[in-house]
Amino acid sequence: MFVKELHIVNFKNIAEATFAFSRRFNCFVGNNGAGKTNVLDALHQLSMCKSYFNLSDTQNIRHEEAFFVLQGKYEREGNEIEVYCGLKRGQKKVFKKNHKAYERLSEHIGLLPLVMIAPEDVSLIDGGSEERRRLVDGIISQSDRDYLHALIRYNKALQQRNALLRASDGRVIDPMMLEVWDEQLVSCGEKILKGRMEFVGAFEAFFQRYYELISSGKEAVSLAYKSSLQEGQGMQEALKAAAEKDRILGYTSVGIHRDDLSLAIGDYPVKKIGSQGQKKTFLIALKLAQYAWLYQLNKVKPLLLLDDIFDKLDAERVQRIIELLGQDMFGQVFITDTNRQHLDDILKSQEVGYKLFFAQGNGSFVE
């Protein structure tokens, strides 16, 4: 799968730009703030129906403009797909495939698989558990629609249960009212928990392989799923046991929305002992493993978006990554960097097609 063309209007700092891409490497060079990352985020929006940086849709509209429009032409398994995303201030976002609007955005997820690596991903290591759950959920959802729908239903039920707890203001709640939402949390939560645990158990081997390739086997690393439930405790039992506590707190204190992913180097959390280079290697290995996982399941090469990934990596690890990107398994790759030398090294080492785009600093680009 690859994207042939991208047209952008009023998206972030880009007033208007049109790109015709290479099927292999597309490199963007320029200073920070010139708009390179915004091109990658536009591609993410067209694949995942939202900004990579968790911005509200209206925050993506260019300053003082009334709307933004993104249009992409893709080819997947010999079929051409046109995707449109448009938003006017104060209105609902419109998403179309081949000129037909989606009724639910979740129907689009997985059609155009994509993996992105950005400096902000350090929050996967240094941030809270929500970031790591979002990573796991995002990977599984691109290949398992039933999981995605269960996740959506769980989050809606959780919001309703929490609203009921807040509205009680510490007063006694009719148990029957809580049970309505508890049943949905248990039904969806058990499916999600099973899916996450099976995924992490199988995904760890992919991750370890890429970490070893990038680091030349210098460190042993591991992933493990950490459930918030006590050993042997079911979710229904946990919700009942915590009902009084939840009433006082005003929110649901147990469930799969409190789980975490343990990331370790040796026997210690990478968050505590990892150097900047080790953390960066950890992140890149996670994302390349995500790419390999999606490719194995769907037999479609995802888009790979690499935003300024070479900073804080030694020359040996940079070279390892460059060698990996040249392998046949990887398809269309988008790379941004402020350092032209990094991009020249990549292009010289790969005997494949490429295009080089220069960001002009005002949201415009030249080849």
The 10s digit of each residue's pLDDT in 117-127 is 998 898 999 99
The 10s digit of each residue's pLDDT in 16-73 is 999 999 999 999 998 888 899 999 999 999 999 999 997 789 999 999 999 999 999 9
- Widest CA span of the chain, in angstroms? 69
Q: What is the pLDDT of residue 146?
A: 94
Give the type of residue at 31: N
317 compared with 346, residue with greater pLDDT: 317
Q: pTM for the whole thing? A: 0.89
336 compared with 217, residue with greater pLDDT: 336
Judged by phi (left if over 0) then psi (alpha if -120 to 50, else beta), residue 237 lies in alpha
Question: Of 276-280, 289-293, 310-314, which has the strongest mean pLDDT?
Answer: 289-293
- Specify the residue for token string 């210690």: 268
- Per-residue confidence band for 305, with pLDDT thresholds at 50, 70 and 90: very high
**Residue partners of 181: CB distance under 8 A and separation at least 6:** 157, 158, 160, 161, 164
The 10s digit of each residue's pLDDT in 154-212 is 999 999 999 999 888 767 777 788 889 999 999 999 999 999 999 999 999 999 999 99
The 10s digit of each residue's pLDDT in 65-92 is 999 999 999 999 999 999 999 999 999 9
Provide the 3-class DSSP secondary structure of residue 91: coil
The 10s digit of each residue's pLDDT in 218-267 is 889 999 999 988 877 889 999 999 988 998 899 999 999 999 999 999 98
Altogether, the residues listed in the chain come to a count of: 367
pLDDT at 316 over 90: no
Render 53-89 in DSSP notation, one character per residue.
Answer: T---GGGGBPTT-SEEEEEEEEEETTEEEEEEEEEET
Q: What is the pLDDT of residue 170?
A: 65
Q: Output b/e per residue, 153-180; b: 16+ Cβ within 10 A.
A: bbeebbeebbebbeebeeeebeeeebee
